[in-house]
Amino acid sequence: MLEMQIWFYTGCALVILGTIGTVIGPGVKDPIVRILNTEIPAVGVSLIFLSYNHVLALLTFIAATVIITLILLRAVVRLEEMGAEV
Amino acid sequence: MIVPEVVPAITVSLFLPALYVALIVGFIALLGISFQKKDVHALILTDIVGVAMLIIVAAVGTDLAEALILPGLVVELAEIMAISEILMSREMRKTGKKVSFMPMPIKMDMEILKTAPNFLSLVLIVYGIFLTGFTGGAVAGVGILFYALARKSRGLPFQLWEGVSGISGVAWCIWLAGFLILFVAPEIWLLGLLMSSFGILLKVASKMGLIGVLGREEFKRN
């Protein structure tokens, strides 16, 4: 039986590592790589919600993360189609 | 002790670690934004700042936290949507180029998009109304969104979008009135509860109004 704290601290570690990876990780000059890196803190926050039993918040957060990723990808693709520096 | 008795001990013991993690994450993300020259990258890092905000709210660890996370998520979503739209329209004005409204990697003229939307969106909307509250609003909103996207939201008349935005405002008022009833006249709490749950249902379902406003701007441009 795993203790509940394991999930909490795994989530914390993922959030911090993912944030550092998003800010100064390898290849983040490319906005697509940066968007994909934001998924790691998202998984960490999901684990933290899970350890606090926030079911509704967890479900809504997963849906919102998917929509935010779609919006950001759309913005990047449209800006690149216009020939802007991204 | 400030913490009430009903809060479990484990939540209290996890409060400080969560708070520190959120502060570290927020600090790193804000530092990253301040060194960023390009606007798109700053927008992506805003997402991480939102994550730090969510951890601080979640650390409270009661039903209150859950109730506060949901509007926080919706506000973050609307904010990122609005800022990305501003960035794109500014760039469009600078370069004077027109690009597709919704860039797709594949052609989306599938048979199922012509035949399925009526039935699927009806099922989603009916199930959403049955659920009521925030979750029901989200389900019904997905139904409306699916219908609009499959039917090419460009083709819909934009008086309809104005109407959807109007419904959103009225639903907000119903929600507030329901809450007022809960405090002013607690003996008719059932009416207040139903008013606020149906109000938030309409409100969340008509978040589509946001996308509708974007569509209207697109009509004006063409």
Digit-coded pLDDT (tens) for B6-33: 888 888 888 999 999 999 999 999 999 9
The residues spanned by each domain of chain B are 9-95, 112-219
Contacting residues of A for B10, CB less than 8 Å apart: 4-5
| Each residue's pLDDT tens digit, A7-55 | 999 999 999 999 999 999 888 889 999 999 999 999 999 999 999 888 8
When pLDDT is cut at 50, 70 and 90, the band that residue B161 belongs to is low
pLDDT at B220: 55
Q: Do B21 and A5 touch (CB under 8 A)?
A: no
Q: Indicate if ipTM > 0.85.
A: yes
Is residue B88 classed exposed, middle or buried when 0-12, 13-18 and 19+ CB atoms within 10 A define those classes?
buried
- Nearest residue on chain B to A6, judged by CA atoms? B14
A86 versus A26: which is more confidently predicted?
Answer: A26
pLDDT at A81 over 90: no
A interface mutation test: which of B33, B44, B62 has the most A CBs within 10 A?
A: B44
- The answer to whether A41 touches B51, Cβ cutoff 8 Å, is yes
Residues in chain A: 86
**Residue in B with minimal Cα distance to A59:** B135
Q: How large is the average pLDDT for residues B183-212?
A: 80
Matching residue, tokens 């309409």: B202
**What is the per-residue pLDDT across B96-154, written as a single tens digit (0 to 9) for each?**
777 766 666 666 667 776 777 778 888 888 888 888 777 777 788 778 777 766 665 45
pLDDT of residue B215: 57
Distance in angstroms (rounded) separating the CA atoms of residues B42 and B49? 11
More confident residue, B160 or B215: B160
Model confidence at B201: pLDDT above 70: yes
Q: How far is B135 from chain A (nearest CA, A)?
A: 8
Domain range B9-95, its CATH number among 1.10.10, 1.10.287, 2.40.160, 2.60.40: 1.10.287
Minimal Cα distance from A54: which residue of B? B66
pTM (two decimals): 0.74
Most confident of B29-38, B62-71, B88-97: B29-38
Residues 6+ apart with CB under 8 A from B95: A82, A83, A84
CA distance B194 to A49: 28
DSSP state of A26: T
Task: Report residue B14 CA to chain centroid gap.
Answer: 28
Identify the residue among B91, B146, B149 best suited for mutation to test binding to A, counting A beta carbons within 10 A and taking the highest: B91
